[in-house]
Structure 1
């Protein structure tokens, strides 16, 4: 039985959700420095985001969620990133992990959201130290999963591990959902950027997971789901790996927009050191740098939103993108990362050495963007190779899933 609350939630428009972000944006911005210092998002920001419904993007409407789309996730996460990159990353990862939980059986979903439509899920889908062994009625799992962004604020974790038989042979790979109360968080997140995400390691030791909270990873990657209601819920027909990759560029888009805004806002009053220019805006070189950065950011948006449209269109149509289309999303996301990185570099070059002052948010934008860009799913060279192999009909596969 599905324990929906009184009625399915009315889905706010994308514009309304973005307005909600801007309505609490100054809270997020005011807490950004504390998030960096404490290596976690302040509870004031988490409460504001929760109250605004901004963690419900991937939650089924049956439980009061908004069940939105790939485009909406980009809209919201990029808007949050205009105020703080770490907060945007946590919003992104919780929403996409909730979406992933929506691929499980309704029995599992009942346990996650049946009494709490604001229940948050985070996840790490792979770990070199983790393993899952068959057990009566489910599996037993052990291991350590690094970089569980948002785990400090979530009630559930979505984890992945190779499935091992009695002889120690790998016989598959599983994804499973476990209550946060049954795992341990180890404080391991000491990094140069995205410090506020609290992306610590989580540990499980011989933890039993019932079978209804376990799915085969390859099934998810191929569009075969345990959600019995998927025929009526297009969001959960979205291509698995492409959506997991795509959402990661949302914060990049917002960080780039914020950097452009900050640099141009001061151009009329800020001089260029050791030149005759009393205002940056009067310099042809500065004008060119701004134009190039703006065009790079526009290009990043065009590629990201084309991928979102491809994912959403296929989900609504009930078709699963072929490997060429799926691999193009991965390549495009790597391209978006490179475009944003180049744009921020142009903006910092235009602004000058003051960009790196501790008091200047530009240096945090630069660090946050760089660290987030090095997520394994966003590595440009790997994405290009995967896409190139598909375009050329090369059978060799260098990544576990496309």
Structure 2
């Protein structure tokens, strides 16, 4: 039982053609904790890294359904590459919120890669027409292959009323890179720590995060685009959901590809295919993979529909997008776990893709902004008539 898939976009077809390259280098990427150059070159060649570059800079500026499907297709070959593509897409979208003259600088190369995190773990202070930023950011996926980073820092709020978080664009060449990404999952993303030491940023490259979260963007030219007529968190939810769906599909394909001719050791089953326990596992995995895709597509569909109609997003809709993302991640992890369990001891070998898929999807489910339990609690609060306990909506 499989949900009806949308017609493949040329970008998705391009990615399908390079899946052998992604799969060939996926283990190297995992072992070396960064994307293999051949994988990166293949992704650049498909155009997938231009999905959130404005069309006026030769970007693809695709709809959200296409974005999600392409990222899911990449995940069929390499989960780390899919995650980084989601990050680069989301951060390019963030760059598209800045004044148009700033975008001229960032998108001068349409294949530019912008990384970033949303934790305001640094400090910023005004200095004339600039902002001076000091601090560090962990979990910066794709930093090793990025030219710019979206950084967040706490800065003095207007009127001297305490501090508030600001978002800034900084060339990665002006940051120090600390290779501390030693993890169990998503190892190939190279999600290292970056450090700013007295980095000077022009004020035009600084935006107040509270205004961004309220949909008050500095760009003028992107305001007419359905892609940027969307809330920040719902946009991120659509990007990252694709990686989880793709990993679930990759697990299903991996399991069925090696099913013929396998038996269940220490039983009378000479064919694993004929064992009822296998039927239960594959059915459960198919259910969960389909359910993950359902929730992911719902986020993308809402973004495309409301963006074209220029409809505002209500608070319940914003909360529902995060809830759907958490559910996507949980169901995808369940699908992978069912098939990893059905794979038996052979699935533990590093040569077996399913153990990497399992570690990657587990890592997704630990992300603070996407954790299924956190997002379910947020959704439950709303259903109980309580105010959300976060501004990241």
TM-score bracket, shorter-length normalisation: over 0.9
2:98 maps to which of 81, 96, 104: 104
1:355 corresponds to 2:332: no
Summarize the Cα distance change of 1:165–1:60 in structure 2 as closer, same or farther, 3 Å threshold: closer
Aligned to 1:242: 234
- Secondary structure of the 1:176 match is strand
Shift of 1:165: 6.2
Shift of 1:14: 5.1
1:399 corresponds to 2:381: no
Summarize the Cα distance change of 1:64–1:171 in structure 2 as closer, same or farther, 3 Å threshold: same
Aligned to 1:119: 112
Shift of 1:20: 0.6
Matched-pair contact (CA < 8 Å) for 1:237–1:315: yes
- 1:254-303 deviation line (CA, Å, top 9, x unaligned): 11111111112222310011111111111122112111110110011001
Shift of 1:210: 0.8
Aligned to 1:173: 165
Matched-pair contact (CA < 8 Å) for 2:133–2:199: yes
Matched-pair contact (CA < 8 Å) for 2:35–2:190: yes
Summarize the Cα distance change of 1:125–1:274 in structure 2 as closer, same or farther, 3 Å threshold: same
Distance 1:245 1:267 in 2: 34
Distance 1:373 1:63 in 2: 34
Matched-pair contact (CA < 8 Å) for 1:162–1:170: no
Distance 2:366 2:161 in 1: 31
Matched-pair contact (CA < 8 Å) for 2:120–2:165: no
Summarize the Cα distance change of 1:127–1:215 in structure 2 as closer, same or farther, 3 Å threshold: closer
Structure 2: which 5+ residue stretches go unaligned? 1-6
Structure 1 segments (4+ residues) deviating >6 Å: 165-169
Distance 1:165 1:241 in 2: 23
1:138 corresponds to 2:130: yes
Aligned to 2:3: none
Give matches, 1:2-401, under 5 Å. Answer: 15-114=9-108, 116-128=109-121, 130-164=122-156, 170-395=162-387, 397-401=388-392
Matched-pair contact (CA < 8 Å) for 2:117–2:140: yes
Matched-pair contact (CA < 8 Å) for 2:237–2:299: no
Q: Structure 2 length normalisation: TM-score?
A: 0.95
Distance 1:148 1:111 in 2: 22
Shift of 1:70: 2.2
Matched-pair contact (CA < 8 Å) for 1:223–1:320: no
Q: Structure 1 length normalisation: TM-score?
A: 0.92
- Secondary structure of the 1:236 match is coil
Distance 1:327 1:301 in 2: 19
Shift of 1:313: 1.4
Matched-pair contact (CA < 8 Å) for 2:319–2:378: yes
- Secondary structure of the 1:375 match is coil
Matched-pair contact (CA < 8 Å) for 1:253–1:300: yes
Which piece of structure 1 moves more, 318-327 or 241-250? 241-250
Distance 2:379 2:294 in 1: 18
Distance 1:214 1:320 in 2: 25
Summarize the Cα distance change of 1:168–1:347 in structure 2 as closer, same or farther, 3 Å threshold: farther
- 1:233-261 deviation line (CA, Å, top 9, x unaligned): 11011211111233222111111111111
Shift of 1:398: 2.1
Distance 2:86 2:355 in 1: 22
Shift of 1:127: 3.8
Distance 2:342 2:277 in 1: 8
Count of residues paired in the alignment: 387
Summarize the Cα distance change of 1:14–1:123 in structure 2 as closer, same or farther, 3 Å threshold: farther
